[in-house]
Amino acid sequence: MLAVKNLRKDFTMFICEGKKIPSFGNVSFEVGASSLLAITGPSGAGKSSLLKCVYRTYLPTEGEILYLDRNGGTVNLAEADDWVILSLRRNEIGYVSQFFHAMPRVSALDTLIEPLITRGGDAAEAMDRASEMLSSVGIGKALWDMYPSTFSGGEKQRLNILRAVITKPRLLLLDEPTASLDRGYKERIMNMILALKEDGTAMLGVFHDRDALTCLSDARYEMTLGEYCEIDRELFL
Amino acid sequence: MNEPFALSLEGLVVRHGDACARCTRNPDSFQRNRCPDCGSIWAARDISLRVREGEILGIVGESGSGKSTLMRALYLDTETVSGSYYLKSYRGGEEDVFKVNPRKRKHIRDHLLGMVYQNPHSGLRMPYSSSANVAEKLIAAGNRSVASMMGRTNSLLTHIEIPINRVKEPPRNFSGGMQQRVQIAKAVANNPPILLLDEVSTGLDLSVQARVLDLIKRVQREFGVTMIIVSHDLAVVRLLADRTVVMLDGRIVEQGVTDQIMEDPQHVYTQTLVNSLL
């Protein structure tokens, strides 16, 4: 579903006299439906940058990111036009960021149903699904009409994941989704991710957490601090 | 025009001043946008942009970069040197609206475009009642029934949270935030498919700004209006815009998906701008 070919990202810092900061290079891999490829490697190897390139928050410097869309067409996310990217984000590609950016003055429930509504979903149905999901990860009714900016780190992170999972994306990018969760919630979130994967979603994830890595991933892609990265196709579990 | 563009602008040039041989022949031969020989300002230099239906486009850039000039041109409110401009809502985008006659131009401004200015004084008649201000727009669009206008006016003003017992008051009695909301009500009175917003929340205090922004989001969601939002406040653009255009010296120097512009800017000016964020 996703094929990354010779991807490279450098940052050019014009404000520091055009200094070039290489982030990563020579990255190639494929991710199929119903599977999760874990990106591993030390801090600073470019794992999050890689995810951001796939989501097009970063513009790749070189290489291709070929995505097979719902209609069977291939889109190169590295250079597709902005409207194509926006429409894929709305309808097919989800992203769970490392840090949750709460929409100001939007309640938790509205934050969660918003992606469904913008896809043209039915409001009542969306509300039902959202309430069910919030309850299942231990965010009680009392919190639903509150602003997520007042939430604890763990609550924010759970909401962040739900927001990406609720639309059942075809491709899901996960950046440390379980980082600030305690054991109980971590398990429920992992089960949710596993269920989505079984349903056909292709996933690309960054995990520092050992349990999440072994439990969720089907293959690993190791990034190193240098230029070159290697794939390690080894099945866990 | 088969593509779903609500608006399409090509090669807009706007100049203030009479221009001389040098700057007409080669407007790129000087730094910034002012001709050193004759002092003419080239406020818009070959600006092209397209906006899809229902999209919110953000425009950022420093003072004097041409943002407001661009907005005035889009509102058919300024002389242009060259360029063409098509609206899907006007003859299916087949006719250049820069070239229409004054009567048609008025029709377009009254029905198809809404404009909200930074300064409420530009958009409102301060001594007249708020309901009269909104009604003015309805009358311009051909409404002659007092009852229907009263109904529409009151519903719009209540919608933007102006208490019903104050709708007869002139906007000059109101606070800045309230005036701005009346201006928005006036701009959307005829349900225009395109809304132009020029620094609408600038200069308002934080909580008032929040209510104005919430109102804009609500208008967009409920009516599916296509919007162009100019702001020098990157946080406002980040909150609202799907795509962002960066302007400098009358040109577009960069455009992209909003989070890409904010997190991975490709132009030296955008990098400076983004890094100036508090």
**How high is the ipTM of this complex?**
0.89
> Domain total for chain A?
1
**Residue from the list A13, A58, A83 with its beta carbon closest to the beta carbon of B263:** A58
Percent of chain A with pLDDT over 90: 70
Terminal alpha carbon distance of chain B: 42
Q: Following DSSP, what letter does each residue of A154-181 receive, concatenated?
A: HHHHHHHHHHHHTT--SEEEEESTTTT-
Whether residue A138 is contained in a domain is answered as no
At residue B278, the pLDDT reads: 65
Whether residue A160 is contained in a domain is answered as no
Give me the average pLDDT of each 10-residue run along chain B (278 residues).
Answer: 79 90 78 84 92 95 91 94 96 95 94 92 93 93 89 88 91 91 91 93 81 84 90 89 95 96 94 82
Which DSSP letter does residue B81 get? S
Which residues, including other chains, have CB under 8 Å from residue A124's CB and lie 6 or more apart? none
CA dist B257 and A88 (Å) reads 12
Q: Following DSSP, what letter does each residue of A98-144 receive, concatenated?
A: SS--PPTT--HHHHHHHHHHHTT--HHHHHHHHHHHHHHTT--GGGT
Q: Per DSSP, what are the bridge partners of residue B245?
A: B59, B255
- Structural domain for A59, as ranges: 2-99+169-232
Domain ranges of chain B: 118-191
A99 in contact with chain B, both atoms CB, cutoff 8 A: no
Yes or no, beta carbons of A105 and B214 under 8 Å apart: yes
Whether residue A62 is contained in a domain is answered as yes
Residues in chain B whose Cβ is within 8 Å of chain A: 52, 55, 210, 214, 239, 242-243, 255-257, 259-260, 263-264, 266-268, 271-272, 275
Q: How many CB atoms lie within 10 A of CB B61?
A: 24
Which residues, including other chains, have CB under 8 Å from residue B214's CB and lie 6 or more apart? A105
At residue B198, the pLDDT reads: 93
Q: How confident is the model at residue A165 (pLDDT cuts 50, 70, 90)?
A: very high
At residue B2, the pLDDT reads: 46
pLDDT tens, position by position, A215-236:
999 999 999 876 544 444 443 3
Best residue of B53, B242, B252, B255 to probe chain A, by most A CBs closer than 10 Å: B242
Q: Per DSSP, what are the bridge partners of residue B15?
A: B42
B142-159: burial string, b at 16+ Cβ within 10 Å, e else: eeeeeeebeebbeebbeb
- Cα B86 from chain centroid? 16
A132-153 mean pLDDT: 92
At residue B4, the pLDDT reads: 76
- The CATH number of the domain holding residue A71 is 3.40.50.300
CA distance A120 to chain B (A): 11
Chain A residues touching B272 at Cβ < 8 A: 14-15
Whether residue A32 is contained in a domain is answered as yes
Segments in chain B forming alpha helices (H): 21-25, 67-74, 102-111, 120-123, 130-140, 146-159, 176-188, 206-223, 234-240, 258-263, 268-275
Confidence (pTM): 0.90
Percent of chain A with pLDDT over 70: 95
Whether residue A149 is contained in a domain is answered as no
Give the neighbor-by-neighbor strand order of the sheet with A171-175: A93-96, A171-175, A202-206, A36-40, A219-222, A230-232
CA dist A78 and B78 (Å) reads 38
Yes or no, beta carbons of B268 and A15 under 8 Å apart: yes
CA distance B163 to chain A (A): 22
- Cβ-Cβ contacts under 8 Å between A and B: the total is 42
Residue A20 pLDDT greater than 90, yes or no? no
Whether residue A222 is contained in a domain is answered as yes
SS3 of B97-143: the string is: HHHCCHHHHHHHHHHCEEEECCCHHHHCCCCCCHHHHHHHHHHHCCC
Which residues, including other chains, have CB under 8 Å from residue A78's CB and lie 6 or more apart? A7, A53, A56, A59, A60, A63, A64, A65
Best residue of B212, B257, B263 to probe chain A, by most A CBs closer than 10 Å: B257
At residue A227, the pLDDT reads: 54
CA dist A93 and B203 (Å) reads 37
**3-class secondary structure, B35:** coil
Q: Per DSSP, what are the bridge partners of residue B16?
A: B41
Whether residue A176 is contained in a domain is answered as yes
At residue B208, the pLDDT reads: 80
**pLDDT averaged over every residue in chain A:** 90
Yes or no: say if A146 and A107 are a contact pair by the CB < 8 Å rule.
Answer: yes
Here the tokens at position A205 are 């994830």
What is the total residue count of chain B?
Answer: 278
Yes or no: say if B115 and B75 are a contact pair by the CB < 8 Å rule.
Answer: yes
Whether residue A157 is contained in a domain is answered as no
